[in-house]
């Protein structure tokens, strides 16, 4: 009986193709909107996670000032000293690597090519903290760090713009007035957590940058890599206490430095993205309810149009449950058809929009199955009332219907 009922339902849908399409339009829009929103939202979350990971895993970034900058009015807080770096390295438990940084900028020149870039002075611990591999060459030796030699490791963006297709390792170029020898090149990383190009950098020993570019021994930023066996919050609290002592901050005075936990930043941004995705998905799901109402309205019209047909079936021996099943199957078939079309449109939209929004396309089987199941449920819920109405018709009254 079920097979015959399905055949009758499909035949009825084919008989009124335009009306059937308009009936499922709400379901199509709802399913495609929900799946597209969630898919792109998952891609955005993955993109945020990837960009934040560029800052390093289990990393504490320590800067002078109370925010990302040096702060508002009043005297500027002092930069850090080399002794602060040594104190963190030797006195804080759970520290895997400590990398001081001194930054500058300048124009790198080689033959007829030139490129404006960032100069990052640091130590070999920087590559451990960032887990940044080399594509060629080597990192600084302790002797080169101690002597402040003008050797450098280049990001892929600088390599591309200065050396084109040539091998960079072993070559020399000039940045500002300093002749620098390339000893290594970095693996490509792409955009960072705040939209900056991580590969647009020249990394040199910190003493070389301090002597030749900044003109002082001050340290603008300290990067602390925390061992995975330790809690970053505990290490952060211990570091804060140590730096308050070293910078003579006592009592209830505010810190004149800030410590950013990259893991906390990543968790916050991912949580925010997921909440926005859920809200957008909920808004898009409203159109599914609208589609269900559309199915109910059209099925009620169909019941009215086919009243005599229903009367004849009941008169020749069909039971009410068979009539109810027929109209219920029609409603579910319409809803499922709308769900399938909606999923196909969502796939096309997601694949097309992901490159435009610069997020990865991540196919989520769970949300696709859930959307299809929900569309079928809409057919059952909103198709039951018209089906029940058809099944409850009196055969004599139905046969008299004009």
> Token digits for 108?
């790198």
170 burial via Cβ count (<10 Å: 0-12, 13-18, 19+): exposed
Contact, 40 vs 350, CB < 8 A?
Answer: yes
The DSSP output letter for 80 is B
Q: Where are the domains of the chain?
A: 2-51+267-400, 78-255
pLDDT single digits (tens) 159-193: 999 998 889 999 999 998 899 999 999 998 876 65
pLDDT single digits (tens) 283-311: 767 777 777 787 787 777 777 777 777 77
Provide the pLDDT for residue 71. 46
389 burial via Cβ count (<10 Å: 0-12, 13-18, 19+): middle
Q: How many CA atoms lie within 13 A of 191 on its CB side?
A: 10
pLDDT single digits (tens) 93-116: 989 999 999 999 999 999 888 999
Residues in the chain: 402
How many H helices and E strands in the chain? 13, 10
Contact, 80 vs 70, CB < 8 A?
Answer: no
pLDDT single digits (tens) 323-351: 777 778 888 888 888 889 999 999 999 99
Provide the pLDDT for residue 70. 46
> From CA 356, how far away is CA 164, in angstroms rounded?
28
> From CA 387, how far away is CA 324, in angstroms rounded?
5
Q: Decide: helix, strand or coil at residue 36.
A: helix
pLDDT single digits (tens) 14-46: 777 777 787 788 888 888 888 888 888 888 877
């Amino acid at each position: 009986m079920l097979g015959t009922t399905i055949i009758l339902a499909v035949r009825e849908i084919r008989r009124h193709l335009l009306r059937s399409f308009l009936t499922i339009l709400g379901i199509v829009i709802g399913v495609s909107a929900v799946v597209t929103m969630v898919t792109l939202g998952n891609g955005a979350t993955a993109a945020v996670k990837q960009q934040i990971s560029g800052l390093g895993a289990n990393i504490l970034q320590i800067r002078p000032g109370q925010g990302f900058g040096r702060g508002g009015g009043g005297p500027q807080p002092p930069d850090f000293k080399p002794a602060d770096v040594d104190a963190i390295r030797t006195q804080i438990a759970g520290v895997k690597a400590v990398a001081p940084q001194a930054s500058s900028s300048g124009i790198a020149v080689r033959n007829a090519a030139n490129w404006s870039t960032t100069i990052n002075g640091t130590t070999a611990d920087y590559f451990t903290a960032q887990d940044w591999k080399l594509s060629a060459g080597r990192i600084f030796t302790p002797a080169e760090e101690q002597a402040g030699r003008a050797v450098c490791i280049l990001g892929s963006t600088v390599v591309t713009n200065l050396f084109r297709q040539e091998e960079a390792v072993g070559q020399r170029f000039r940045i500002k007035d300093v002749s620098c020898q390339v000893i290594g090149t970095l693996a490509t990383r792409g955009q960072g957590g705040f939209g900056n190009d991580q590969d647009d950098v020249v990394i040199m020993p910190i003493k070389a940058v301090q002597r030749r570019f900044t003109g002082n021994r001050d340290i603008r930023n300290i990067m602390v890599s925390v061992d995975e066996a330790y809690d970053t919050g505990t290490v952060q609290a211990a570091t804060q206490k140590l730096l308050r002592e070293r910078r003579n901050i006592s009592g209830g005075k505010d810190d004149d430095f800030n410590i950013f936990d990259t893991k906390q930043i990543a968790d916050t941004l991912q949580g925010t993205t997921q909440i926005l995705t859920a809200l957008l998905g909920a808004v898009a799901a409203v159109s599914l309810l609208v589609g269900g109402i559309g199915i109910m309205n059209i099925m009620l019209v169909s019941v009215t149009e086919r009243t005599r047909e229903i009367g004849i079936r009941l008169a020749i021996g069909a039971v009410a449950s068979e009539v109810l099943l027929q109209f219920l199957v029609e409603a579910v078939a319409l809803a499922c058809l709308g769900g399938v079309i909606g999923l196909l449109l969502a796939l096309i939209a997601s694949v097309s929009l992901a490159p435009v929004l610069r997020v990865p396309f991540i196919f989520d089987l769970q949300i696709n199955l859930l959307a299809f199941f929900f569309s079928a449920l809409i057919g059952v819920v909103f198709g039951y009332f018209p089906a029940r109405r058809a099944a409850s018709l009196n055969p004599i009254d139905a046969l008299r219907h004009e």
